[in-house]
A = this chain, B = another copy of it.
Amino acid sequence: MQEINSMNNPTIKHVRKLQQKKYRNQEQEYIIEGFHLIEEALKAPKRFKFLLGTKEALDKLVANPELADLLNLNSSKIIQINDSLAEHLSQTVTTQEIFMVLPINQPGTYSFNYGRWVILDGLADPGNVGTIVRTADAAGYNGVVLSPYSVDIYNAKVQRSMQGSQFHLPVIRQDINAAIASLKENDIPVLVSLLNQNAQSVFDYGAPAQFAIVVGNEAHGVSASVIEQADQELYIPITGKAESLNAAVAAGILMYQLVQVK
């Protein structure tokens, strides 16, 4: 373990700068914060670059024997910091004073030769993207594909909404047309979710064992070029006066309805 108490320390400067997307992309590292996310990362187990925390926070972490076994406390990768440095690094209102730096390791291509997938076509809201990854994990999907125009998943808000689900299933950043080509090569049907009453109600649809479901941008829906390639258009019926559903809620209803876990 090492101890750092200065904001001017190069490691602290580096960790703080990981709050910026441009710097994350350059360094291919990102930061997570809080006990729950760090516990999930340790259980994954991911090779981390740094674990930083106040004395109290580090003590609390290793008080869990399951986690203590995964940590070598003598490692210089574990850094004790003081309260004001924890405040300086935090991106939350009430910090838990514990942080981890991890390598970005996001697949850019993937061979979709089995399974159930969720494809996000240009989603813009960090909370929606994180929540959809978390729901895909809960509903037993094999992974999530984000188009390059979707929000960056290493953003602190996406990380908080994912609740560690990125350690349970792959979140692939790939051009949607390339993903669809791979799905079609493997005879996995592509379903799209539309706000269109003429599409098939998802509650009347018998889903195949393997498929990919595409969810569109909050304002503009699924891209026309993706709809053209779809094997099935699906719709969530709206019986009240609301014009639409929130994208994360719509994705959750679709994901659960299509797998019908009992």
Contacts and interface: CB of A to CB of B under 8 A. Distances in A.
A176 to B, nearest CB: 23
Contact of A245 (B135, B201, B242, B257): B135
Given A239-B140, A261-B203, A262-B201, A248 B245 contact: no
Question: Number of copies of this chain in the oligomer?
Answer: 2
B203 A249 contact: no
Nearest to A250: B252
Interface string A225-262: 00000000000111111111110111011001101111
Contacts of A139: 238-240
Interface string A127-145: 1000100111111110000
Contact of A240 (B138, B242, B260): B138
B161 A246 contact: yes
B239 A261 contact: yes
A153 B163 CA distance: 26
A69 interface: no
Contact of A168 (B138, B237, B241, B259): B241
Interface of A: 127, 131, 134-141, 161, 163, 165, 168-169, 201, 203-204, 236-246, 248-250, 252-253, 256-257, 259-262
6 contacts: A137-B242, A141-B240, A165-B242, A168-B242, A237-B262, A253-B256
